[in-house]
Amino acid sequence: MKQVALAAVKDNLSRYIHEAGHEQIIITRHDKPVGVLIGFETDDAWSDYKIENNPRFLLRIAHARADLKAGKGIPWEKINDRKAGRTKDSSRLVS
């Protein structure tokens, strides 16, 4: 991460937007962090950022983690069985 003074960012915004595509830029005022400039090199990077910072998505993750801690999760083996169409009591395929 690179730190840059706010005045420098204001004077060279295009340059720092380009640099932010490669690394986050911490913006400082009077040597104290006041913000961060995050760039996106690709549309996928932008999509990932939107998903990773979506409050509804983060809430779903938090609920899922709480369920796992409470023992309400599904073991990986059962997920694989469901994908393969196997029954609960046997390993034969269900038609």
Residue 95: its pLDDT value, please?
A: 42
- State whether the Cα torsion 29-31-35-39 is positive or negative: positive
Domain of residue 63, residue span? 54-84
Angle (nearest 5°) at CA 47 between 74 and 11: 140
Query: 32 pairs with which residues across the strands?
Result: 29
Give a yes or no: residue 92 inside a domain: no
> Is 20 inside any structural domain?
yes
Confidence (pTM): 0.58
Structural domain total, the chain: 2
Tens of pLDDT, residue by residue over 27-65, are: 999 999 999 999 998 999 999 999 999 999 999 999 999
- Any domain includes 25: yes
CB within 8 A of 22, min separation 6: which ones? 39, 41
In a domain, 63, yes or no: yes
Q: Which helix (H) or strand (E) holds 95?
A: none
